[in-house]
Structure 1
Amino acid sequence: MPNVPTRWAGVPAAGRKAERRAMLVQAGFRLFGEDGEGALTVRAVCRSAELHTRYFYESFADTGELLAAVYDEQAAALGDVLAGALADAGPGTEARTRAGIRSVLQFISDDPRRGRVLFAVAESLAARRRAAETSLLEGLIAMSGVHSPSLPVLVAATMFTGAMTELAQQWADGLLGTDLDAVVDSAVDLALALARRPLDV
C-alpha cells in the first residue's frame, strides 16, 4: 500500500516508528473490538491503518503481540479512569465504592469494544488479565490503610476483586440489562455488605 511521500517528513525515526505503532494498535482495537479475533490479520490491520505490511513487523512479531498491546492500552485507560474517579470521590467508603464501580461500568458502556478487548478469551491475554486482577487486589488492600492486612481483609479484598471482574464482564456482555444506575446501586449495596466489617475503604 503506497504512502504519501511527505507523510513522515520532518519526524525523527523514533517518532515515526512510535506513530506507526500507535496507528496499528488503534487499527487492532477497531478490528478486534468490532469483529473479534478472527478479523485480526496482518493484512487487515495494515489496511485499516493505511500502512504497508512491512511496518507491522517493525513493531510486532505477530498479531498476538499486537493484541497484547491493544489490551495493555485499554487496561491502562481503565486504570486512569478508575484512579480519577476514586480521587474525585473523597474519603467516604460508600462514595469511593460507588465511584469505582460506576467508572468501570461506564468505561465499558462508552465504547463496547473496550469490554470485548478486556474480557477476550484469547489465551495470549491470560497472564495480562491475571496481572490486572492482582493490581486491583493490591489497590483495594492499599485503600484499606492496613500495612499488614489480616486474613479477613485479604479474603474480602480477593472476593471483591473476583466479583467486580465478573460484574464488569456480565455488564459488557449485556446480561445485566441497560439500567446502569440500578446495576450500580445493587453492586454498591452488596459490596458494602462485604466490605463494611473487614475492609473499610
Structure 2
Amino acid sequence: MAGEEPSAPGRWAGVPLTDRPAERRALLVDAAYELFGTGAEAAVTVRAVCRHTGLHSRYFYESFADTDQLLGAVYDRVAEAAGVEVTAALAAAGADPVARLRAGMHGVLGFSSADPRRGKVLFTEARTNPVLADRRYAAQLALMEGVLQEGGRTRPTIDPRLAKVGAAMFTGAMVELVGQWLAGNLGDDLDAVVDHALELLLAGLLAPALGG
C-alpha cells in the first residue's frame, strides 16, 4: 500500500536524514522507469509508483509536482546514460570520421535496444506527452549540433548551409532508423543495419556534410 512506508522502521537505517529525500526520489524514478518501460504512460500514476516503492504519496510530492515531471526525470536519467555510452564509443573510435560515425550510430541503436525500456523512454512511447516531446526535440537538436561539430572537424571549409542541411537530414534519418530498429522491422543483426546505414550515408547526398 502507498501509505505503508512508516511500518518498515529499518528501511532507512543508516541513511542520514539529509540523504533520504534523494534516496526516495531515486526509488520513484526507478519505479516510473519500470512501469513506463513495461507498460505505457498510463501506467505511471502517483498511486502506482507509490505502491511500487512502498512510499507514502507525500513523499512523491516531496520530489515531483506531478507524473509528467517524474517522467521527465526518467527521460533525463536514461538520456544521460545513453550519452555516456555513446561518448565512450566515439572516444574508442579515434579520429577517423567514418569510424566515429559508425560508432555513434551503433552506440545509439545498441543502447536503445539492449534494454527495451530504454527505447520506449527515449523514442517510441508517449509521443504526445509535452515533457517527453520537449526533451526528445532537445535531444534531436543536440544530435544535429554534434553532427555539425563532427563535420567541422573534418571539413572546416564546408558551406555552413550545406552542413546544416546535411546535419538536419542525418538527424531525421537517425530518429526513423532507431524507430524501425526498435520495432523489429530491420531484423536482429545490429552490425548489418549499421553497415547498411553507413554505406547509404556515405554514398548519398549527406556525404559532403558528414566529411565523406
Query: Structure 1 length normalisation: TM-score?
Result: 0.92
Q: Aligned-pair distance for 1:148?
A: 8.5
How many residue pairs align between the two structures? 201
- Contact in 2 for aligned 1:89/1:95 (Cα 8 Å): yes
Aligned residue for 2:89, secondary structure, equals: helix
Between the aligned partners of 2:21 and 2:28, the Cα distance in structure 1 is 11
Match of 2:149 in 1: 142
Match of 1:42 in 2: 46
Distance 2:100 2:160 in 1: 22
Aligned position for 2:107:
103
Distance 1:104 1:189 in 2: 17
The structure 1 residue matched to 2:207, chosen from 171, 192, 196, is 196
Quote the sequence identity (%): 54
Corresponding position of 2:195: 185
Distance in structure 2 (CA, Å) of the matches to 1:133 and 1:118 = 11
Match for 2:189: what amino acid? D
Is 2:40 the partner of 1:33? no
SS at match of 2:79: helix
Does the Cα contact within 8 Å between 1:141 and 1:154 map onto a contact in 2?
Answer: yes
Q: Is the 8 A contact 2:37 2:117 kept in 1?
A: yes
For structure 2, the residue ranges without an aligned partner over 5 or more in a row are: none
C-alpha separation between the residues in 1 aligned to 2:157 and 2:138?
A: 21
1:7-26 residue pairs with structure 2 within 5 A?
A: 7-26=11-30
Deviation at 1:10, TM superposition (A): 3.9
- Residues 1:175 and 2:185 aligned together: yes
Contact conserved, 2:144 with 2:171, CA < 8 A, in 1?
yes
State the shift of 1:15 in Å. 1.5
Distance in 2 (alpha carbons) for counterparts of 1:189 and 1:147: 24
| Structure 1 unaligned regions, length at least 5 | none
Q: Which residue of 2 aligns with 1:78?
A: 82
Is 1:2 aligned to residue 23 of structure 2?
no
Q: TM-score, normalised by structure 2?
A: 0.88
Range with greater deviation from structure 2 (142-151 or 89-98): 142-151
**Are residues 1:88 and 2:96 paired?**
no
DSSP 3-state at the match of 2:10:
coil
Confirm or deny: 8 A CA contact 2:97 2:150 kept in the other structure: no
Question: Which of 61, 67, 72 in structure 2 is aligned with 1:68?
Answer: 72
Cα separation, 2, equivalents of 1:174 and 1:69 = 27
Q: Deviations over 1:60-115 (max 9, x none)?
A: 11111111111111111111111110010011122111111111111122101111
Instruction: Determine which of 150, 153, 165 is the counterpart of 2:175.
Output: 165
Q: After alignment, is 191-200 or 97-106 more displaced?
A: 191-200
Confirm or deny: 8 A CA contact 1:141 1:149 kept in the other structure. Answer: no
User: Cα RMSD over matched residues?
Assistant: 1.8
Distance 1:6 1:133, change over 3 A: same
1:143 deviation in Å? 1.5
State how far apart, in whole Å, the 2-side matches of 1:162 and 1:13 are: 46
- Does the Cα contact within 8 Å between 2:158 and 2:209 map onto a contact in 1? no
